[in-house]
Chain A
Amino acid sequence: MEKFLQYKDLSYFYQTKESEIHALNHVDFFVEKNSFASLVGPSGCGKTTMLSLTAGLLEPSNGQILLDGKKIEKNDSRIGYMFQRDHLFEWRTIWQNIILGLEIQKKHKDTKALALAEELLKKYDLYAFKNKKPRQLSGGMRQRVALIRTLVLNPSLLLLDEPFSALDFQTRLNVCDDVYEIIKSEQKTALLVTHDISEALSMSDKIVILSARPATVKKELQIEFSGSTPLKKREDDNFGKYFELIWRNLS
């Protein structure tokens, strides 16, 4: 078992006017390479803080986070972040949105990176919309664009912060399938934060349940279903049993 993403005794405190908040307490777990892991926990337990720390946007107070054996640094190019909303810039075309990260990192003339962007657009049926503005796309398509915007930077780890929460239920199920397929076929490792147990179950190989603040790992679950896509996994006989188990651990 290759420990690709590793949290070692991670603690985090942050300061507010009123007091010091103990957000994370000795968090310790790992995620295997090319697998899909989810973090679930009561709201406000520090799931998003975990992602910000993993993205290098915050510094751990104690402990460390290792990716492929190396400590995560600020502006670590191995990591891609996908947010709750797509945050596409309305004044840019789809293509300009997709190459935003490349522009920032001064790679927008790198033919290899641009070829990857074109290829991803074609592969995921967005090429015809290349020159359209974001508002001309559906919610699901916009999320796909947001994912591709992250993927063109070629990260090995993808952090997903409830990326489907702004979508209606129908779209959500489909986008879940799309995103899952893209992440699997691009062979990325993913860490998803969600409050939706079914969503976590349908997408993950592993689920880490966090306790209320200060968050610590309450339980780790390896998930095995027969289906190959999130939608099919939902039909598995054991789906309800896992759901029960997580539900009990959360309440």
Chain B
Amino acid sequence: MKNKNNYSKAHAKYLKKLKKDKIIVYFWRIVVIALLLGLWELLATTGAIDPFFFSSPSRIVTTIINLASTGNLFIHIWTSLYETIIGFVIATLLGGLIAIILWWSEKTRKVLEPYIIILNSLPKIALGPMIILWVGSGPTATVVMCVLICIIITIISMLNAFISCDNDKILLMKSMHANKFQILFKLVLPNALPEFISVLKINVGMSWVGTIMGEYLSSRAGLGYLINYGSQVLQLDIVMASIVVLCLLAAGMYALVIPFEKKFKKS
């Protein structure tokens, strides 16, 4: 039995169920966050928890509005945002380039392999004091921290993607007389695109880690600074408000990667 949309009744029913399931998931997502926020607010207003230490949703909103009205919030957002974006771009491009060089020269790769592994397991925050000594405190130090945190994992992931390219495909290229440049640009790089997108997604998160760490270490502006400042003057509202803004920014940047991924999957 076909209806006007060319679906059988059973198929239409199935599609309807899929749609219903999706709505249910969305509904419960909203319920969960509403319940949590409601409970938090209730506990804070009844005095079951001390809003001085735990803040409350309404106090967070008020703090954000206050910070925004003085214009301070935007200075901090802008500082963190540009540090993160610069760090993210440098780490991704430079990491990709280094991965290409290591793919190109097997000898270089073998020589550098142990050092890359050591650098990967090293907690980058340990390098903080050195970074400040070398490049000074402020945005540059934050960007350097951000790059350090993202670049090693970028190199390792991209290099693995390049190396895992099917050997028979490389042989096919060679049988058609391709040189190494052609193998790189026509096969290895396009073949590694899915891995590149997952690296982008990982780096969005990691670059925020780098920025906040960098700002904790030494800075006069940025959301990391604001969080640090809030905790030092015991203004948990500021800390919480900064975290909320940070969540929104990170989610926004992640969302920017999604259409890129979708476009690739379609093509």
Using CB atoms and an 8 Å cutoff, list the residues of chain A in contact with chain B: 55, 57, 75, 77, 79-81, 83-85, 87, 89, 91, 100-101, 103-105, 153
* A104/B186 in contact, CB under 8 A: yes
Given contacts A57-B171, A104-B186, contact A87 B166 (CB under 8 A): yes
State how many angstroms separate the Cβ of A80 from the closest Cβ of chain B.
8
Please provide the chain B residues from 6 to 41 with a CB less than 8 Å away from any CB of chain A in the complex.
Answer: none
Q: Pick 24 A–B contacts, CB within 8 A, sort by A.
A: A55-B175, A75-B177, A77-B177, A81-B172, A81-B175, A83-B172, A85-B168, A87-B166, A87-B168, A87-B172, A89-B186, A89-B187, A89-B191, A91-B190, A91-B191, A91-B193, A100-B176, A103-B186, A104-B173, A104-B178, A104-B182, A105-B176, A105-B177, A153-B176
List chain B residues, Cβ under 8 A from A85. Answer: 168
* A83/B168 in contact, CB under 8 A: yes
List chain B residues, Cβ under 8 A from A103. Answer: 186
- Closest A-B pairs by Cβ, 4 of them: A81-B175, A101-B176, A75-B177, A104-B178
List chain A residues, Cβ under 8 A from B174. Answer: 57
Q: Chain A contact residues: over half helix, strand or loop, or mixed?
A: loop
Which A-chain residue is minimally distant from B183 (CB atoms)?
A: A104
Which B-chain residue is minimally distant from A81 (CB atoms)?
A: B175
Tally of contacts, chain A with chain B, CB under 8 A? 42
* B267/A91 in contact, CB under 8 A: yes
List chain B residues, Cβ under 8 A from A100. Answer: 176, 186
User: Bound complex: CA of A25 vs CA of B208, how far in Å?
Assistant: 62
User: Bound complex: CA of A79 vs CA of B174, how far in Å?
Assistant: 12
State how many angstroms separate the Cβ of A171 from the closest Cβ of chain B.
20
Please provide the chain B residues from 101 to 158 with a CB less than 8 Å away from any CB of chain A in the complex.
Answer: none
B168 touches which of A75, A84, A105, A153 (Cβ 8 Å): A84
User: Bound complex: CA of A104 vs CA of B175, how far in Å?
Assistant: 11
List chain B residues, Cβ under 8 A from A57. Answer: 171, 174-175
List chain B residues, Cβ under 8 A from A80. Answer: 175
User: Bound complex: CA of A55 vs CA of B190, how far in Å?
Assistant: 26
State how many angstroms separate the Cβ of B79 from the closest Cβ of chain A.
39
Which A-chain residue is minimally distant from B173 (CB atoms)?
A: A104
* B176/A89 in contact, CB under 8 A: no
User: Bound complex: CA of A55 vs CA of B174, how far in Å?
Assistant: 10
List chain A residues, Cβ under 8 A from B176. Answer: 100-101, 104-105, 153
State how many angstroms separate the Cβ of A167 from the closest Cβ of chain B.
16
Which B-chain residue is minimally distant from A76 (CB atoms)?
A: B177
Extra A-B contacts (8), CB below 8 Å, given A89-B169, A103-B186? A57-B171, A80-B175, A81-B175, A87-B169, A89-B190, A91-B190, A104-B173, A153-B176
